[in-house]
Structure 1
Amino acid sequence: MGNNLNQKLFSAADNLRSKMDASEYKNYLLGLIFYKYLSDKLLQKVVELADESLEEYDTADKQTALYQELLSDEESKEDLIATIVDTLGYDIEPAYLFNVLADQAKQNVFQLNELNKAFIQLSSNYDQFSGLFDDVDLQSRKLGADDQQRNVTITEVLKKLNDVDVIGHQGDVIGDAYEYLISQFASEAGKKAGEFYTPHMVSDMMAQIVTIGQEDKRLLSVFDPTMGSGSLMLNVRNYLNYPENVKYHGQELNTTTYNLAKMNLILHGVDAEDMELRNGDTLNKDWPTDEPYTFDSVVMNPPYSAKWSADDTFLDDSRFNRYGKLAPKSKADFAFLLHGYYHLKETGTMAIVLPHGVLFRGAAEGVIRKKLLEDGSIYAVIGMPANLFFGTSIPTTVIILKKNRTNRDVLFIDASSDFIKEKNQNKLTQENIEKVVSTYKERKTIEKYAHVASFEEIKENDFNLNIPRYVDTFEEEDPIDMVSIGKEIKEIRQEKQALETSLFEAISSLQVNSEDAEWIKGALEVFNYEK
């Protein structure tokens, strides 16, 4: 199914690729896929409300005809729309359904303005869609110089996306589509695209770790203050016994990405009352400040070594005031870590991905790290392979934090060599992940892979957490047998001499004309010289 989705996306992207770069055209593709999802979901709901079967109404055209028929009954029309809005949270008029617009595209009678009206109607009637389609700029000159050319471009894209089965897709449609678009066109999209996507397997590993011991919670809250496309938060529910009872809290600075996360959660059937999402700057102003402001699980993949203001006023901020120093202006890594940690419940677990520098850099970062270690806040440090993330090849570390611990030891896991190499990226396998998670659970030393370091050991290392100080992966080479090597050299020399002698004899016995005689003489002199 994944390949099918990828082929359709690649084909649809063909119509946009020559006109704009990947970071722009992904907005069109993802926005349209999302609209198609809302439209297809509504049609399925209509079949269900009419008490009909999806086997009988197995195409969008049949479902649309049923919808129009039900709406033609003036008496039941109001009730039908009210029920749809009550269960789905929105409705779409038949004229604006994705498949209807795509059919018009196939007949070349599609009008761009109709799609625009469809977006406006959803966004203005229902708060949860407000601003969600802003990035699908149908008036952009990049789509074409005039309305007619723009119309042709979108017509082609609609035709191709109409074949994507967004409802039946196994897995995370927006996440899968997004990951594919970035990986396919990462060189064009550049670093920007990768800033808000955590590869699925890394996300999966973090989700497993932050849910350990909390699987049976009747209600679990998760927080991602740099949520990107929201997939990191969504993965958490895969490891819970009550996955439908999760409250999602997230913040994202980039408006386009914030909209993407909102789409992603809606696509995963998260109700409006179960998500509290905010478009804003995580570091400059604390959020959330009202209850609830602490959470069972905190997951983060912030932008690495980003700049921030590091203004002195933050020394009074309750997120940072216990640590003596602020994260440096040029490296906000610890500011993000402390923000997430501040919002962690006393019983919760936090996982954050950061560059290795946070483990050993000195100055202000060293002061903050020392305080975290003295408090017993750092529970585990996991070294990941290089080149896992889009847009950066650096190796990263996943740091696990907890509160209220009786012990101050730290588990180190060196998983940097466990991966499979693919064309542009390294990838983690299911086995790689399972090995990390089971080692994390067992929390014991494994030669060349994991080590539980006592607080005293960490103190002796001046609070430096660089993984090779604790996990020795050095492979000692076998001692060299000099006797057998000497014997081998002697044999090679004898072989060489025998070959030279037979070659010398062969050249000497050659019958040559006077022209070649000079050359032969030179060759024989070289042999004599070498001997």
Structure 2
Amino acid sequence: MQQEQIQQDDVNKAVWSACDAFRGGIEPSTYKDYILTMLFVKYISDVHKHEHAKLMKQHKDNEKLVDAMMAKQRFVLPKGASFWDLYKKRSEAGNGERIDTALDAIESANGSKLKNVFQDISFNSDKLGDEKTKNQRLDAVIEAFGKEELDLSPARVGKLDIIGNAYEFLIKHFAAGSGKSAGEFYTPPEVSDLLAQLLDPQPGDTICDPACGSGSLLLKCGALVRDNHNSKSYELYGQEAIGGTWALAKMNMFLHGEDNHHIEWGDTLNNPKLTEDDNQKLMSFDIVTANPPFSLDKWGHDNAAKDKFARFHRGVPPKTKGDYAFLSHMIETMAPKDHGLLGGRMGVVVPHGVLFRASAEGKIRTKLIDEGLLDAVIGLPEKLFFGTGIPAAILIFKKKKTDDKVLFIDASREFKAGKNQNLLTDDNIQKVLDTYKARESADKYAYLATLEEIQENDYNLNIPRYVDTFEEEAEIALVEVRKERLTLQSQLADLETEMAQYLEELGYGS
């Protein structure tokens, strides 16, 4: 009998409900890693269980042959290490130790694919409480993931990206509740959509995010190549400094079917890992895109002047603000203008200070503009990003420009207001895209500035200097206002007379 197709909403609700095992006693910033890791283990276990049953049926229960075939599956699952092995013993003592042992076995059995992915997560940690409390919590988590709603076998999932979407759903909701640190691993989906579409990834492109967080921006770029060109000919590269977030990115890639990715763990500014020629040269990419940490303090200023890759030849950014450090790195990794169909291009989210701050940043900004690399400045609404209410901007750079102008777009006033976060709607995004493609001035929304105009503004890119959004106040018709005022005064006098009559009839007259 054919199994019923799984529904995205049902999976999302079920995995969110699984968090109940931790709520009230543990912060989401702590338990998110346990939930996301358990979802990954559950998924590969359900796939393994499904494939094993199918092969046993095909090969008449020839266990030895089936075991040999299972060893060549996408993920190898050692005996005793599947979710269902953990499920059988969930009510016994030692859940934390059993889960950690299973993760070690899974990591070892899958070689370089899952190397170090689980090293920063321990289910046997005191973070989960004393031994009794920890065991009860893990029992509840395993029980929740064992429910029918979370049967993630291929027969139920089909070809839909149910699991990857559920993972993104969890990451988004954890980000919403995790405060300021959320921005370190999550970019709102609408911003990722906008950035990816502005950069227009093509078949054959190499795409890099040097501050990739959970990898959502890279995944959006890859999805555009598949959706717009029916092609899987692209390569995704990334680097992430935080070990736990790097692990999230790796699992996120696998759950979205992006097995052929290159996500490195390390500090991009101080130790770039995406290199070639025995670490003597930075790799270059058709698309470079990121939402790096805003104004990062202690980014590596002291070592920048002697950087072996000469990334800061336009100037060394200030010690306490790493925005131009990320920009400088990204610019140096853009492919040349004659590479591929569109040449090297770059899109990055920055705080507005990047547009106008002077001193060292002003000097770097001046050189980037004079080199003809800056293509567009797009102002976004406030309260789009988790952990900060400040508005941000998107900068687009291109190696292959058709003019020496810069397009300014003020999209800051067009959004859907949310309770805690504002959202970009599909219409908001489409208006930005249409305006960017048209590359023309639009009243109170966009302005195509010449290099001379930018120079006259001392290379200040503050959007209001170029896009006039001033709305004249409506003229006040004083004669009509006076006429209305006299009418109201007359009506008030009549009411006062009427009120005095009522008071006299009730015996309150003077």
Asked if structure 2 preserves the Cα contact closer than 8 Å seen for 1:6 and 1:180, the reply is: no
In the alignment, which residue of structure 2 is the partner of 1:35? 41
Identity %: 37
Given candidates 119, 123, 126, the residue that maps to 2:103 is 119
| 1:29 Cα deviation from its structure 2 partner | 0.2
In the alignment, which residue of structure 2 is the partner of 1:376? 372
Over aligned residues, Cα RMSD in angstroms?
A: 2.3
| 1:463 Cα deviation from its structure 2 partner | 1.0
Stretch of structure 1 that moved more, 123-132 or 232-241: 123-132
Asked if structure 2 preserves the Cα contact closer than 8 Å seen for 1:300 and 1:353, the reply is: yes
Given candidates 134, 156, 164, the residue that maps to 2:140 is 156
Q: Secondary structure at the match of 1:19?
A: coil
In the alignment, which residue of structure 1 is the partner of 2:4? none
Stretch of structure 1 that moved more, 303-312 or 362-371: 303-312
| 1:181 Cα deviation from its structure 2 partner | 2.5
Asked if structure 1 preserves the Cα contact closer than 8 Å seen for 2:29 and 2:174, the reply is: no
1:266 aligns with 2:254: yes
| 1:318 Cα deviation from its structure 2 partner | 4.3
1:180 aligns with 2:168: no
Distance 1:312 1:137 in 2: 35
Q: 1:124 to 1:358 in 2, by over 3 A?
A: same
Q: Secondary structure at the match of 1:226?
A: coil
Distance 1:151 1:297 in 2: 46
| 1:317 Cα deviation from its structure 2 partner | 5.1
Distance 2:35 2:465 in 1: 47
In the alignment, which residue of structure 2 is the partner of 1:141? 126
* Alignment deviations for residues 26-57 of structure 1 (CA, whole Å, 9 cap, x no partner): 000001101112112223433555676xxxxx
Asked if structure 2 preserves the Cα contact closer than 8 Å seen for 1:315 and 1:326, the reply is: no
Distance 1:373 1:165 in 2: 54
Q: 1:511 to 1:19 in 2, by over 3 A?
A: closer
Q: 1:78 to 1:495 in 2, by over 3 A?
A: closer
Distance 1:328 1:12 in 2: 45
* Alignment deviations for residues 314-369 of structure 1 (CA, whole Å, 9 cap, x no partner): 2665444431x211111110110111111011212111011111111111111111
- What letter is aligned with 1:224? D
Q: 1:343 to 1:503 in 2, by over 3 A?
A: same
Which structure dedicates a bigger proportion of its chain to helix?
1
| 1:254 Cα deviation from its structure 2 partner | 0.4
In the alignment, which residue of structure 1 is the partner of 2:339? none
Given candidates 234, 240, 244, the residue that maps to 1:256 is 244
Q: 1:248 to 1:511 in 2, by over 3 A?
A: closer
In the alignment, which residue of structure 2 is the partner of 1:277? 263
In the alignment, which residue of structure 2 is the partner of 1:208? 197
Distance 2:490 2:24 in 1: 67
Q: Which runs of 5+ in 2 are unaligned?
A: 1-6, 337-342
Q: Which runs of 5+ in 1 are unaligned?
A: 53-65, 513-519, 522-531
| 1:302 Cα deviation from its structure 2 partner | 0.4
| 1:490 Cα deviation from its structure 2 partner | 1.3
- What letter is aligned with 2:169? D
Distance 1:321 1:509 in 2: 90
Q: 1:193 to 1:279 in 2, by over 3 A?
A: same
Bigger Rg, which one: 1
In the alignment, which residue of structure 1 is the partner of 2:216? 231
In the alignment, which residue of structure 1 is the partner of 2:404? 408
Q: 1:511 to 1:180 in 2, by over 3 A?
A: closer
| 1:2 Cα deviation from its structure 2 partner | 4.5
Q: 1:506 to 1:151 in 2, by over 3 A?
A: closer
Q: Number of matched residues?
A: 479
Asked if structure 1 preserves the Cα contact closer than 8 Å seen for 2:183 and 2:293, the reply is: no
* TM-score in terms of structure 1 length: 0.84
- What letter is aligned with 1:300? A
* Alignment deviations for residues 62-85 of structure 1 (CA, whole Å, 9 cap, x no partner): xxxx9xx84x633x245323432x
In the alignment, which residue of structure 2 is the partner of 1:528? none
In the alignment, which residue of structure 2 is the partner of 1:309? 300
Q: Secondary structure at the match of 2:443?
A: coil
Distance 1:443 1:311 in 2: 40
Q: 1:151 to 1:243 in 2, by over 3 A?
A: farther
1:469 aligns with 2:461: no
In the alignment, which residue of structure 2 is the partner of 1:456? 452
